Amino acid sequence: MIRALVTLLVLLAAPAKADIVRDRIYHPVSLADTEVEFAGDPPLPLQAVTADGLALAGYYWAPEAGNDRLVVVFHGRDYNQLVMARRAEALREGGHGVLIASYRGYGDNPGSPSEQGLFSDGEAWLAKARELNPEGRIYLFGFSLGGAVALELAARHEVTGVATLGAFTRLADQVPALLRPLLPDRYDNLAAIARVAEPVVLLHGAKDEVVDPEAAVRLEQAGGANVTRVNLKGGEHFVPLESIAARLWSLWARLEAAAVEP
C-alpha cells in the first residue's frame, strides 16, 4: 500500500520533475574547463547544423590519401567534443578519418540536451560525414550515452559498421525502479540494435562499474547474428582507445569482408 502510494506521488510529480531528472541524465562539460594535448596534429574545428537550426561544434581529421574510411565518434554524458577528440585520436591509426561529433548544450553548443535532440544532432553529424566523405565508407562509434546515438543512427541509415563502448541496454535499467516513471528520455538500445542490419561490435570493459557488463550480453542477444561482443579484460567503463583501435578496425574489416562473401 505504501509503495503504491509513493509510486502514485512520483507519477503525479513527474511533469514538474522531468527537467530536474533530465539535468541528472546529462552532465555537459564546458570547453573552458577543458585542456588537452594531442599526440599528433590537432584536428580541424568544424560545425554541423541540425534540422532545427543549431550550429554544433566538432573536430575532424581527414582520411589519408588512398583511405576511404571515416568514423563518426559520439561521446558520453559527461564529456565534450574536445575531450572526446583527444581520447579518440587513436582511431586515426592506419590513416583513417575521424569526425568528432557533439551535442546541443555540450561544449558551449546552443540548446539543451534531450533524447530526440541528441538523435537530431546525430543526424546532422552523419550528414556532415557524408559531405566530407561522399564516396567513402562511414562507420559509427559511440561511448556510453553516445552508443545510444550510434545505434539509433545505424538503425535509421545504411552505414558500413557500428561499434559501442560501455553501452547500456536502456536508460530505465540504469536507475532505481521507483524513479523510472520520472525519466523524460528512454534511450532503448535493446530496441535500436534489433533494427540494425550492419555489423555491430559491442566493446565492454569486464570491470565496468558504471554499466554492468551483462548489458553487452543482453544487447548481443537482442541484436542477433550481426553482433560481435568483445569482453575487454581488465577494462573499466572507458577503455583507452590506444589499446583497442587497431583491433576494432581489423574486426570491422573482417566483418565487412564476411558480409560481402557469397
Residue 182's pLDDT is: 78
User: Does an H or E element contain 95, and which?
Assistant: none
Residue 38's pLDDT is: 96
Residue 177's pLDDT is: 78
Instruction: Please tell me the number of Cα atoms within 13 Å of 172 on its side-chain side.
Output: 11
CA 121 remoteness from chain centre: 12
C-alpha to C-alpha distances, 227 to 50, 73, 113, 210, 236, nearest whole angstrom? 30, 19, 29, 22, 21
Which domains does the chain possess?
Answer: 2-260 (3.40.50.1820)
Q: With contact defined as beta carbons under 8 Å apart, do 83 and 36 qualify?
A: yes
> What is the mean pLDDT, run by run of 10 residues, along the chain of 262 residues?
35 52 79 90 98 98 97 96 97 97 97 96 99 98 98 98 98 82 88 97 97 97 96 95 97 89 56
CA–CA distance, 26 with 234 (Å, rounded to integer): 27
Per residue in 193-223, pLDDT tens?
Answer: 999 999 999 999 999 999 999 999 999 999 9
Residue 125's pLDDT is: 99
